[in-house]
Amino acid sequence: MEKTPHRKAANSIRPPATSIGVIGWMRANLFNGWLNSILTLVVGYLLLLTIPSFVKWAFINSNWFTTSEQCKAGSGACWSVITANIRFILFGFYPHQLQWRPLLAVLILILLLFFSQNRKYWKKSLAYVWLLGLFSMGLLLKGGLGLEVVDSDSWGGLPLTLLLSVFGLTAAYPFGVILALGRQSDMPVIKSFSVVYIELIRGVPLISMLFMSSVVFPLFLPEGVTFNKILRAQIAIILFTAAYIAEVVRGGLQGMNRGQYEAAESLGLNYFQAMRLIILPQALKIVIPPSMGILISAFKDTSLVVIIALYDLLKTTQTTLTDPKWMGFSAEAYLFVALIYFVCCYAMSNYSRRLEKELDTSL
Amino acid sequence: MDTTAPEKIPFLRDPAKLAILYQCLTILGVGLLSYYLIHNTLANLERQSISTGFGFFKKEAAFEIGEKLISYSAADSYSRALLVGFLNTLVVAFIGVVLTILFGTILGIARLSTNWLLAKLSAIYIEVFQDIPILLQLFFWYAFFYEMLPAPRLALNPIPGLFLCNRGLIFGLPQAHSAYFYAFVALGLACLMIFFLRKWAAKRQAATGQIFPIVKVSLALFIGFPLITWWLAGAPTAMNVPKLTGFNFQGGLSISPEFTALLLGLVLYTSAFVAEVVRAGIQSVGKGQKEAAMSIGLKPAHVLNLVILPQALRVIVPPLTSQMLNLTKNSSLAVAIGYPDFVSVAGTTINQTGQAIEGVALIMFVYLAFSLSTSALMNWYNKKIAIVER
């Protein structure tokens, strides 16, 4: 290598075929080193073993719109269990001819969520639109104002799942903020009440709260006063979620610069003014992404109401499966419900990741 | 105006006095609310003639429990039934935690692997299993055992000695022999020896600078000592292999479908979260740390042991503990698939005695005890590994 090659010649020499293109990519990402090569082969073999048979089961040999007898005769997946019972799975015992109402309510919610994800619309008016939307959803489900009244005992399916999680988070948020402020407070009584509440709730499983809502809440009320199961479960979910929100908000409050508190005080603002005008607007902005995380887990956790026999999405699916006609097709039905949950949670977690990047003002 | 005497602050402007006022109001509010609730509750209990207190502990439970670690029959007391449930919760939580840490760590490392296929597959796994409610996963695995697996006669036999069927998971065990007991004792002794050896080695290194090959010696002790004991005690190799007799298996260890489904669901779900924790921990250690450690001439094992792991663990351990607590709390969902854990037994107790408040309080107390003891342990550990700041 005494002679340095001409510039022109150097430019025209292509890299070896084994380090570019498909082969190069495979060498760099799949077969770099003997351990990785073995891993690739093992994983590839396992995939080859499972994927074709799954595709065959789920798509090629599957039944989509048949009766249960035809399903039992076939060898593939029986998606008919869903197509035949879709209205019951999605809406539960809601009166059949009125099911457009929960459908519309769910569509309104999806539309609202879709608009709210654009930060251009984050103004005060959006809050009013949300209030209006939530009110109209409630109206659609419950009836009244000219619509036929539907008793809340027959609410079920997807609207119930969404209702419990969205209303739960909305109502728990203010409560959680108050608890977080209480925990940060200098007043020993308020601080200790908040700490005890937060740690107590975070230490127990949601199911114990739900048990409490179904068997202990009725004992708390004076004689003759009862309120329905859904509301009781909703209260339990709110009480539970608030403790988690409080911890997230506390993170935001602690993340604030000390100077902000001091600046607010030196302006002569009292505690409430300082919180409302200076501290909370900034602290709550920091905690938007982790709050999404709480929304996701609240959404997943609402499925636990199955245990106290509320007809949410999971319970309606289970009920379908107890029908002798459709017994034995649990895999298909549960996969369908899992898909609904996955799509919702994935969209939310993706959005929260994007938001985290957009809102990150640090350098 | 007299400038020497401080201006009197009006009552409503004095933060110190206001603070006292607010606190008094809070105590009053909480007190009134609890008085109202307790008053209602007592009135309700009296009207429905439900007894209060934990007197029911000594009464006969009169229900069977399918799975138990200690002897129990329907004639035993409620307190014994609750103890059985508590032990069941402990077992599932303990095995679940061990398996989850193992599987979650592997998954987290695989997520960061340079192998594209492996990294992508782990990423998909983590995303999918995090986003499906744990209860749905439990139902799925439960249905998997009862609907999708064949009867014992056609049991799947993926590896010799292990059978999967709708009666659960059945596998062979070594035939009971005193050698195993001695080997187990030897294992405990080995752990003790390793503990003192490490202390001695660290002291010697601090004093003389000589490095003792502690990892190799520990490993040799840990494996070798029980193995030699087993060999000296007669080296029994007989296996208790399950055999199909009639409609079910005889022999071996059989684990119920409920337990297996619960364990599988909990481990697969929590592992996805643990994997993310582990990944974040590994990524939190800067590249410069590794390069610096290598450039001062440390061996790869030492780089990992002395530089990377201590820093990564500081990030990993707190969220890992909270995931372990989540697993323990989620094990209460056993009630939905019929595994008799503490919540399930307490639920049955509530139904039979009608003493809902005591039952729910017991459930809360047990899980609270788990959480508080874990966080106490956690705080101690955190203090121990915290960066010493001067």
- The interface predicted TM-score of the complex, written ipTM, equals 0.87
Among B27, B127, B133, the residue with its CB nearest the CB of A189 is B27
pLDDT at position B364, please?
Answer: 92
Amino acid at A208: S
| Residue B137 Cα, gap to closest chain A Cα (Å) | 8
In chain A, residues with a C-beta closer than 8 Å to the C-beta of B121 are: 43
In chain B, residues with a C-beta closer than 8 Å to the C-beta of A208 are: 332, 343, 360, 363-364, 367
Interface of B with A in 354-383 (CB under 8 A): 356-357, 359-360, 363-364, 367-368, 370-372
d(CA A350, CA A194): 32
Does residue A1 surpass a pLDDT of 50?
A: no
Does residue A4 surpass a pLDDT of 60?
A: no
Domain positions in chain B: 13-47, 78-166+255-385, 176-237
B130 CB near a chain A CB, below 8 Å?
Answer: yes
Give me the average pLDDT of each 10-residue run along chain B (390 residues). Answer: 64 79 91 90 83 80 82 86 92 94 92 88 94 94 86 78 81 79 88 91 87 84 87 79 75 84 95 94 88 89 83 87 91 91 91 87 92 86 72
Compute the average pLDDT of residues A105-109. Answer: 89
User: Whole-model pTM above 0.80?
Assistant: yes
Give me the DSSP letters along A266-288: HTT--HHHIIIIIIHHHHHHHTH
pLDDT at position A166, please?
Answer: 86
pLDDT at position A3, please?
Answer: 54
Does residue A240 surpass a pLDDT of 90?
A: yes
Does residue A9 surpass a pLDDT of 60?
A: no
Contact across the interface for A211 and B357, Cβ inside 8 Å:
no
In order of their start, the domains of chain A are: 93-307+337-359 (1.10.3720.10)
Compute the average pLDDT of residues A1-10. Answer: 54
Q: Which helix (H) or strand (E) holds B63?
A: none
CATH H superfamily, domain B78-166+255-385: MetI-like (1.10.3720.10)
pLDDT in tens, B184-220: 898 999 999 999 998 998 898 888 888 888 878 888 8
Does residue A341 surpass a pLDDT of 90?
A: yes
pLDDT at position B53, please?
Answer: 77
Q: Which helix (H) or strand (E) holds B153?
A: none
d(CA B163, CA B152): 8
φ and ψ of B290, to 5 deg: -65, -45
| Residue B204 Cα, gap to closest chain A Cα (Å) | 38
Among B131, B140, B367, the residue with its CB nearest the CB of A203 is B367
Contact across the interface for A342 and B368, Cβ inside 8 Å:
no
Q: Could you give the count of Cα atoms lying within 13 Å of A214 in the half-sphere of its Cβ?
A: 17
pLDDT at position B86, please?
Answer: 93
Helix B356-385, helix B342-353: angle, nearest 10: 160
d(CA B241, CA B243): 6
pLDDT at position B342, please?
Answer: 92
